[in-house]
Amino acid sequence: MGILEGKTAILTGASSGIGYSCALRFAEEGANVVACARRLDRLEKLRDEAAGMAGKIIPQQCDVGVEADMDAVVKTAMDMFGAIHILANIAQGGLDKLVNLIDTTEESTMELFKTGPIASMRLMQKCFPYMKEQNYGRIINCSSPAAVQGTPGMAGVVMCKAAIQGLTRTASQEWGKYGITTNVFLPTIKTENFDMSERGRAYAKKVAENNPMGYFGTPYEDCSPVVAFLASEGAGYINGQSIAVCGGEILMA
């Protein structure tokens, strides 16, 4: 029996990369997953890949910047499975506009915040009543090592991902008494985007060379097991923590 057997999860950002791999891992471990993203065709591919696993993948087209879409996601989970045990906020828009601090605009920063910490907050608020009622919940948010390092050229990302860590800490203190744990992971993980340009491939090579483990971690093998554990009953005493999944690139005290 998988560690998520009988659980229902909502997972955003499921059409590619870390989100796609975590949705697969959740289904493999027995969870029924309402997999959310804007690209429905990728979600349908995910569903087909998970066919035969212990849990089901339910594709749900969703833009996390649109509140009505988030309401529909929660409704789907409750209508189909009658409970929400796990929320994994992995979606993040605006990552195509990375610039230095001096060139960072309010408009681009607000797009990052709207689809990052604000979207995460809203989905957490929408799932909270159901988790509170059952005295059980696992919330996993997604930050970035950039939020710790202050990575040059990523000012907007640094700000929004640091906000997600703050959101996580607050929820852990306010909601723990209801059996709800809230944690955040900080991934340095190689997704397919790095293979789409020469610059991306060069950066991936540099990450691998500089990483203490000597390689650039992958979404399914290196990241999804950590997220699945945080979503499990076994992680019930881990709360409010920032967990780096980065091969030692950053060290969390």
Buried/exposed 48-67: b ≥16 CB within 10 Å, e otherwise: eebeebbbbbbbbbbbbbee
Which residues, 6 or more positions from 33, have their beta carbon under 8 angstroms from its beta carbon? 8, 9, 10, 11, 14, 23, 26, 27, 50, 55, 56, 57, 58
pLDDT for the residue numbered 196: 76
In the numeric block, which tokens belong to residue 144?
Answer: 């970035």
Candidates 66, 71, 10; CA nearest to 43 is 10
Angle formed at CA 73 by CA 179 and CA 19, multiple of 5 degrees: 80
pLDDT by residue for the chain (253 residues), tens only, comes to: 899 999 999 999 999 999 999 999 999 999 999 999 999 999 999 999 999 999 999 999 999 999 999 999 999 999 999 999 999 999 998 887 788 999 999 999 999 999 999 999 999 999 999 999 999 999 999 999 999 999 998 999 999 999 999 999 999 999 999 999 999 999 999 998 888 778 778 889 999 999 999 999 999 999 999 999 999 999 999 999 999 999 999 998 7
Determine the pLDDT at residue 150: 94
Class of domain 8-189+219-245: alpha beta
pTM: 0.96
How many angstroms separate the CA atoms of 114 and 217, rounded? 28
Residue of 59, 5, 50 lying closest to 29 (CA atoms): 5
* Beta-bridge partners for 189: 217
